[in-house]
Amino acid sequence: MRERYETLLVEAQADKLLLVTLNRPQVSNAINTQMGHDLLDLFTSLVADPDQARCIVITGAGNKAFCGGGDLKERNGMTDAQWLVQHALFERGFRMILDCPIPIVAAVNGHAFAGGLELTLACDFTYASTAARFALTEVTLGIMPGGTGTQTLPRIVGERRAKEIILTGKPFSAEQAHAWGIVNKLCEPDKTLDDALEVGHTICANAPLSVRQAKQSIHHGLQMDLRTGTYFEIEAYNRLVPTQDRLEGVRAYNEKRKPNFIGR
| Positions marked active-site | 118, 138
Three-class SS of residue 169? coil
Phi, psi (degrees; rounded to nearest 5) at 186? -95, 135
Cα separation, 240 vs 235, whole angstroms: 9
Phi, psi of 47 (to 5 degrees): -65, -40
Q: Are 248 and 260 in contact (CB under 8 A)?
A: yes
Closest CA to 139 of 120, 176, 165, 173: 165
Using only C-alpha atoms, the chain has a radius of gyration, in whole angstroms, of 19
**Residues whose CB is less than 8 angstroms from the CB of residue 109 and which lie 6 or more positions away in sequence, other chains included:** 59, 60, 62, 63, 65, 66, 129, 132, 189, 192, 193
Q: Report residue 227: phi and psi, to 5°.
A: -65, -45
Length of the chain: 264
Q: Is 172 helix (H, G, I), strand (E, B) or coil?
A: strand
As a whole number of angstroms, the longest Cα–Cα distance in the chain is: 66
CA-closest candidate to residue 97, choices 113, 120, 117, 114: 120
Closest CA to 221 of 161, 29, 213, 171: 213
